[in-house]
């Protein structure tokens, strides 16, 4: 089949949406599908590179690093429409969704959408966003997704959320997959020793890892308060925070205010190729976010054989088994207690880490690609059986 994937974010950004798109592209091509991608240019200029079409863009002014397309790329829409995709698979509800929707309408292609984001967690980034809440987000999602044929939800949590919005579309729950071998393969001791020196982590000091984008919605501040509550001396363990984002400066200031200098290390942004090394440097993984739709960092930690200590959240179903491969906490006191318990018991860390590796097997990219391809096939067959696949090219004016 011919598959067009539309996404507002691509290789210049490091997050779960981009990881999902790249892994899906690779698995679909392995299956023999022809894949093209339509995304927003990270340079501002429109251009094509391989199987990727980049739309001319300007900074959004809403969220750091996010750009929006500007009118004038009708040529790209015409090229992709003439290509006649069988499936248009949108990954973001806003900028490129409109392009994908029009291409699907012009060609009679099936329109599939993956719900990656719970937007009520992000209204603080929008002007006047404090006055917006779930009702406004729900109304927007109902309007945007009314034309899709099917929705992919990475977890039951996402399916329930969009049902609560009043989005009544056929939904398939398909967890996003990761390349498990990247995280299960051993990193050399030399690389790990270099990272320890770079972070100023002494020999024998255990590492508690937080890894991901530092957005305010990720609630990394709760980890700092929890670390203060845990009262773990720096010669015993350190909290290593890897990632960058709009909340980074305020988190650094909070760490100073809490007197955590020498107990917390902010590494900043990291080359994606180095991410597995940070997991292998760590003794356990922690997260306080409740904004995740699935949380690929959780799965990466599983594949790396780490126990998890994470804020209780429905997206952790099937990922964190409380007491078996980690703990879910509800308060700073619980966080501190669970972290201390795991740091003081090597045997428990090892047994929980082994269980994490077992759970990770369900999240490989091959299973992800097969499940998505199966949905494509059934959706296209439904369209053929109902006689709705029509060639509408030329029916619309390209703008």
Residues 6+ apart with CB under 8 A from 323: none
pLDDT at 39: 93
* Residue-level pLDDT at 13: 67
- For 209, the token pair is 């890892």
In angstroms, the CA 206 to CA 193 distance is 13
pLDDT score for 285: 98
Residue 118 has a pLDDT of: 78
- Model pLDDT, residue 356: 98
273/185 Cα distance (integer angstroms): 13
Q: Are 22 and 52 in contact (CB under 8 A)?
A: no
Rg of the chain (C-alpha set): 22
Residue with tokens 């539309």: 6
Which pLDDT score, from 0 to 100, does residue 147 have? 92
pLDDT (tens, 9 = 90+) of the chain, 399 residues, equals: 999 999 998 876 667 788 899 999 999 999 999 999 999 998 888 899 999 999 998 887 666 667 888 876 677 889 999 999 999 999 998 889 999 999 999 999 999 999 987 776 555 555 444 556 678 888 989 999 999 999 999 999 999 999 999 998 999 999 988 899 999 888 999 999 999 999 999 999 999 999 998 999 899 999 999 999 999 999 999 999 999 999 999 999 999 999 998 999 999 999 889 999 999 999 999 999 998 888 889 999 999 999 999 999 998 988 999 999 999 999 999 999 999 999 999 999 999 999 999 999 989 999 999 999 999 999 999 887 766 554 444 444 444
Beta bridge partners of 39: 7, 54
For residue 91, give the nearest of 372, 378, 390, 384 by alpha carbon: 372
Question: Given this model, what pLDDT does residue 132 score?
Answer: 60
Distance CA 190, CA 68 (A): 42
What is d(CA 336, CA 232) in angstroms, rounded to the nearest whole number? Answer: 9
pLDDT of residue 18: 87
């Amino acid at each position: 089949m011919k598959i067009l994937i539309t996404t507002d974010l691509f290789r210049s950004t490091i997050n779960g949406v981009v990881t999902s798109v790249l892994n899906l592209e690779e698995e679909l091509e392995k299956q023999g599908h022809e894949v093209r991608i339509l995304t927003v240019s990270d340079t501002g200029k429109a251009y094509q590179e391989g199987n990727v079409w980049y739309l001319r863009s300007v900074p959004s002014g809403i969220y750091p690093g996010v750009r929006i397309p500007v009118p004038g790329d009708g040529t790209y829409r015409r090229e992709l429409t003439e290509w006649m995709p069988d499936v248009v698979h949108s990954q973001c509800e806003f900028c490129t969704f409109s392009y994908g929707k029009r291409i699907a309408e012009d060609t009679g292609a099936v329109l599939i959408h993956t719900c990656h984001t719970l937007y009520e967690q992000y209204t603080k980034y929008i002007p006047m966003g404090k006055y917006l809440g779930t009702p406004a987000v729900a109304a927007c999602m109902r309007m945007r997704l009314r034309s899709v044929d099917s929705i992919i939800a990475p977890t039951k949590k996402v399916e329930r959320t969009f049902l609560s919005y009043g989005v009544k579309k056929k939904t398939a729950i398909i967890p996003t997959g990761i390349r498990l071998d990247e995280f299960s393969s051993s990193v050399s001791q030399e690389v790990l020793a270099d990272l320890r020196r770079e972070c100023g982590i002494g020999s024998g000091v255990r590492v508690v890892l937080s890894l991901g984008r530092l957005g305010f919605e990720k609630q990394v501040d709760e980890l700092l308060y929890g670390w203060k509550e845990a009262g773990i001396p720096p010669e015993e363990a350190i909290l290593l925070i890897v990632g960058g984002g709009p909340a980074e400066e305020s988190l650094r200031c909070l760490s100073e205010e809490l007197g955590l200098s020498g107990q917390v290390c902010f590494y900043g942004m990291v080359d994606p190729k180095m991410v597995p090394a940070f997991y292998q440097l760590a003794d356990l993984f922690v997260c306080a976010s409740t904004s995740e739709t699935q949380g690929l960092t959780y799965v990466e930690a599983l594949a790396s054989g780490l126990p998890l200590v994470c804020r209780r959240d429905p997206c952790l179903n099937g990922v964190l088994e409380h007491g078996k491969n980690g703990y879910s906490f509800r308060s700073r006191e619980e966080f501190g207690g669970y972290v201390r318990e795991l740091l003081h018991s090597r045997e428990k860390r090892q047994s929980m880490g082994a269980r994490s590796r077992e759970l990770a097997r369900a999240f490989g990219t091959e299973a992800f690609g097969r499940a998505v391809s199966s949905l494509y096939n059934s959706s296209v067959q439904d369209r053929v059986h109902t006689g709705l696949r029509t060639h509408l090219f030329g029916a619309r004016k390209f703008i």
